[in-house]
Chain A
Amino acid sequence: MSEQLINIEELKQDSLNFNKGTFEGEALVRKSLERLKAGRSILIDKDNNIIAGNKTAEAAGQLGLKVRVIETDGTELIAVKRTDLDIDSKEGREMALADNRTAQVNLSWDEPNLEAAALECGIDPSMWGVDFDTNEPTAESKGEIDVGTFDTDQTLTIKLTSLQYEAVINKLKETNPDLQVALLTILGYYA
């Protein structure tokens, strides 16, 4: 398989990108590239359309980076080896952190684009764990659920008085010592 160096302008942004990105995420991607330089690759198709990494390419373009293209048919894994990095160093650990964190903060699903792709290409977002129900009010809008600042879609917070709290804990523990499992069991999740 061949390898070539091209200008980043030769890559094409995805006009139907499923990810709108976020303001905070954009800033983190830029910070990561400026401070730690390029990490994992992006993914492009046979015509240089960006499949994954549109936001990374945008930020890299602003910093004037060139692009090294590695052709493959997907039967092997590609590993970008940073010969200047040691994982057991501040830079190595920050790179590991930045990879996870930028992906987390910079994701904002574009529902219309997903729906359009589902119609055009017959893909099913729910098969990839992505579900939307725009008619349902969000948890935050209810006022009763305080969504955690870290795992925004995973932390359920319920306000209780001290007496209620103790009663709830005792009831849940009667079902299972793991409170998460207990609530899921009571609600019929495992049925």
Chain B
Amino acid sequence: MKAHLTRRYMFSASHRLHSAAMSEAENAATYGKCNNPYGHGHNYSLEITVSGLVDESTGMVCNLVDLDGFVQREILQRFDLENLNTRAEFLQTVPTTENLCTAIYDILQRGFTHAHLDKVRIEETMMNSFEYAGAGEIGR
């Protein structure tokens, strides 16, 4: 039978929202306080949902050791306690949480092979959250 497993991770990072495609005035108008040249930070809550048939021998969709190891190595080490603007993923794009969501989805989609990736959900603050499922549908 098919089950969907969601695991939550926390990381902290700073960023500045600034688009090279906009003038200074346009950046200020678009991003407001988030355009402060020195940046600011968040405690991000990252939820990763994977799915698959429950293995009869282990009772698991995938071993959490594999998921935790991959996320630690490929995502948390890359973003936790870093300035997102300096990371390779955001040299060309603005590190909004929308773009962070799709970047993390792409890392998982490329490298995590132990279960099907359903979606990535990120809370930037308690007041806003973002979800991305690639070509899939959000929710059910």
> Do chains A and B interact in one complex?
no
| A residues apposed to B, CB below 8 Å | none
